[in-house]
Chain A
Amino acid sequence: MLNSKKKIKVALIGNPNIGKSTLFNLLTGLHQKIANFPGVTVEKKTGSSTIFNSATGDANYLEIIDLPGTYSLYPNSPDERIPFEILCDPNNEDHPDIVVILADGTNLKRSLFLASQVIDLKIPSLLALNMMDLVQAQGIKINADELERRLGIRVCPIIARKCIGIEELKQALINDLPVPTSYVYDITLIKPTLLASIKKELNLKSNYAALQIANHINSLEHFQISKEQQAILKNLFVGIEYDENKIQSFESLERYKSIQQIIESCVRLPHEKKVSFSTRIDKLLVHRIWGYAIFICILFVIFQSIFSLAEFPMNFIDETFTGFINIVRDFLPSGVLNDLIVKGVLAGIGGIIIFVPQIAMLFMFIAVLEDTGYMARVSFLMDKLMRNFGLNGRSVIPLMSGVACAVPAIMSTRTISSWKERIVTILVIPLMSCSARLPVFTLLISLIIPTNYIGVFNLQGLVLMSLYLIGFLAALLASIVISGLIKSKHKNYFIMEIPVYRMPRWSNILYSILDKVKIFLLDAGKIIIAISIVLWFLSSRGPGEKFEKVNQEISQLSPDKTDAQKRLHLESLKLEYSYAGHLGHLLEPIIKPLGFDWKIGIALVTSFAAREVFVGTMTTIYGVGSDKNLTVKEKMRIEKDVLTGKPRYSVAVGWSLMLFYAFAMQCMSTLAVVRRETGSWKWPVIQFLYLSGLAYFTSLIVYQILK
């Protein structure tokens, strides 16, 4: 019984932009898992599929892996290393039983280049000939039977976006596909004795696999080949002149010659060529004035949506969840456990799901822009401009999204193909002023900036705008510095294809949104909950007797105080005597040169959960004393400096604090997401240190000057 449940491992490979994810979604439906490939930050999508044999009715179980899009098995980037390693190493844990090669019928020559490489590895394969509707529309004629005969593997014509030909493809997959019998291009002319020894040593099935091993003899670290065997392999090269670059290009050119012969026998191209629809649209969309105007409009719509439209679902989630938390708090017996669950765990979960609307909305836009082909035009328009700052044309949308929230913005950097430019973008995104800083800025601005007008401009508004501008300029400057510091291992080429415009596929967009939300909730979520529990502990527990005796202190208060006043006082004292309070006092000597006292120190600790918590913490701290019913703003305004007698929140302190919040990495969710997206703690730690340093020294200088 168990044996019949054995899964067939299928790998899906193909050029970028030819409908690979559409086919993957069609084959697996919602049974998908996303993780990173070990050691690299390349997304690994796997899914399962059950296919019933139409003749016998037997169920077959398939495990499908979606390999990153690539043009050949010769890797140029970390993304492209993955298909190379999985297919060329028979002992790789993901090495498939069957490969589905997706080909673009309108560009068969290029598709067959990759396809022939896979066929020559002698893995049972199937060619899914996609875009047959476009093939017909363009007047191209393909003889699929002849193609099947010439390639020696099954060929299934399909139209993935219309779900045509998928059933035939599925049936072909479960009917024992044979090992390809002949080579599309046999490499017998290249170093025959060397390759024969490699093939024998590793017990390989094909000459081509031996050539691939030979070409990458010095970078086999991810291959399941023992150190001893690698040494034996390297020994085979002694005394042999082997220039892998020359051999690679020789092989490629010869391969194309074989492909050309195949194409001549089964493809007929139309005589005339029409000016394509895409070329006409591009006259407008990458126009030197209109192109930018339209792009700015699109950015504006995206920004508005994640900034203000997302507010409605966010408020809804906030209210519903607060209601839920209150029910839980009242339902559970009061005590430490209740406190831990309500203020630690549930508060953490609430802080996570609040991001879902923004993530979903941003990725809806990004998926539409990618799917229609517009994103490639954004790169085309913005590349030169952004490269001045060490960034990529595709960094623009993540950066602008950072103004709403860094979390979805950092997740959206996956569209940047260059590793270095992607890391730089991730590192500077938190400098863009996000919406969580707004409550902090408005509170401080209203404290220190008068409501004067300069001409028609409100002074407070101008200051707020300048803070956004400072963040933006800091992000650009930081990009220049960081990209000068990071060394890239790979020589990166910008060369990319500009796909034709197509209607977006709504199901793909839905899958993309679900993927991102899932990644965030599961992977970043657990880190956020952990930090949230630590912060709860710090702010609700305290060392020694003083913390224990807070209740007594409250009961000694004058009896004419109301219960509400007593509770506020209690909370305030508890916070002061808690670990967070002690941390605030401990921090005081360090932050004193910035003009901050221990109260602000506490707020710095607690607002690590999210910047807007600053306001909440200040409210609690200033809950102490004062009989009058003042707001936190009024209490902060009348607060006097003990030594000078001047207002505590002077212009110098206000600016110092605002700039600190403009730069500092006061957001655990961002850290968690950077950890998820870069695959290690290295980058979030570097990011935290450089942003904190930047914030500290800017505030220090500003305070010392203004004081």
Chain B
Amino acid sequence: MILNKEMANSSKKLSLLKKGEKCIVDSYIDENMQQKMLDMGCLPGEVITIDRFAPLGCPIAISVGGTVLCIRKDEAENILVNVIE
């Protein structure tokens, strides 16, 4: 339990998650990208589900607030998240 909680508290890059994992957006590393993600409704605190990876591992399809977004792996590296399940 304790181990799980510790892991949940340390944020990691979205690009490191696996298919099916759920996480909460913590913050963005790249400011410009943050604005683009905010425009599309992907705010800190929002729940992201990794839907699937493209066959070659990039881009990644993620579900946010009822819509599916498609982002490249290097863009996902700019999103810090906390894994919830």
Q: A interface vs B, CB < 8 Å? A: 71-72, 74, 76, 106-107, 109-110, 113, 245-246, 248-249, 252-253, 256, 278-279, 282, 286-288, 291-292, 376, 379-381, 383-385, 491, 493-498
A-B contact pairs, 12 of them (CB 8 A): A71-B40, A252-B38, A252-B39, A253-B43, A282-B52, A379-B70, A380-B70, A491-B32, A495-B36, A495-B72, A497-B40, A497-B68
B41 close to A286 (CB less than 8 A): no
- What is the interface size of chain B, counting residues whose CB is below 8 A from a CB of the partner? 31
A74 close to B39 (CB less than 8 A): yes
Among A245, A246, A376, A493, chain B packs the most CB atoms within 10 A around the CB of: A493
Q: Which chain A residues lie closer than 8 Å to B40 at the CB level?
A: 71, 110, 495, 497
Q: Which chain A residues lie closer than 8 Å to B70 at the CB level?
A: 376, 379-380, 494-498
Q: In the complex, what's the smallest C-beta–C-beta distance from B23 to chain A, in angstroms?
A: 17
B54 close to A383 (CB less than 8 A): yes
Tell me whether B7 is interfacial, beta carbon within 8 Å: no
- Residue of B with least CB distance to A71: B39
Partner of B59, one of A74, A380, A497: A380
Q: In the complex, what's the smallest C-beta–C-beta distance from A236 to chain B, in angstroms?
A: 24
CA distance A249 to B34 in the complex (A): 8
A497 close to B67 (CB less than 8 A): yes
CA distance A248 to B38 in the complex (A): 10
Q: Which chain B residues lie closer than 8 Å to A252 at the CB level?
A: 35, 38-39
CA distance A110 to B66 in the complex (A): 11
A107 close to B67 (CB less than 8 A): yes
- Residue of A with least CB distance to B65: A109
Among A109, A286, A495, chain B packs the most CB atoms within 10 A around the CB of: A495
CA distance A252 to B40 in the complex (A): 11
B35 close to A110 (CB less than 8 A): no
Q: In the complex, what's the smallest C-beta–C-beta distance from A436 to chain B, in angstroms?
A: 35
Tell me whether B31 is interfacial, beta carbon within 8 Å: yes
CA distance A331 to B33 in the complex (A): 66
CA distance A252 to B34 in the complex (A): 10
Q: Which chain A residues lie closer than 8 Å to B55 at the CB level?
A: 286-288, 291-292, 381
Q: Which chain A residues lie closer than 8 Å to B67 at the CB level?
A: 107, 110, 497-498
Tell me whether B71 is interfacial, beta carbon within 8 Å: yes
CA distance A438 to B38 in the complex (A): 51
Q: Which chain A residues lie closer than 8 Å to B66 at the CB level?
A: 106-107
Tell me whether B37 is interfacial, beta carbon within 8 Å: yes
- Residue of B with least CB distance to A73: B39
- Residue of B with least CB distance to A259: B41
Q: In the complex, what's the smallest C-beta–C-beta distance from B22 to chain A, in angstroms?
A: 13
CA distance A384 to B53 in the complex (A): 11
Q: In the complex, what's the smallest C-beta–C-beta distance from A300 to chain B, in angstroms?
A: 19
Partner of B68, one of A113, A379, A383, A498: A498
B75 close to A494 (CB less than 8 A): yes
Given contacts A71-B39, A74-B35, A494-B70, contact A384 B75 (CB under 8 A): no
Q: In the complex, what's the smallest C-beta–C-beta distance from B52 to chain A, in angstroms?
A: 7
CA distance A498 to B71 in the complex (A): 10
- Residue of B with least CB distance to A110: B41
- Closest 7 A-B residue pairs measured CB to CB? A110-B41, A288-B55, A72-B39, A71-B39, A384-B56, A498-B68, A252-B38
Q: In the complex, what's the smallest C-beta–C-beta distance from A104 to chain B, in angstroms?
A: 9
B54 close to A286 (CB less than 8 A): yes
CA distance A107 to B69 in the complex (A): 13
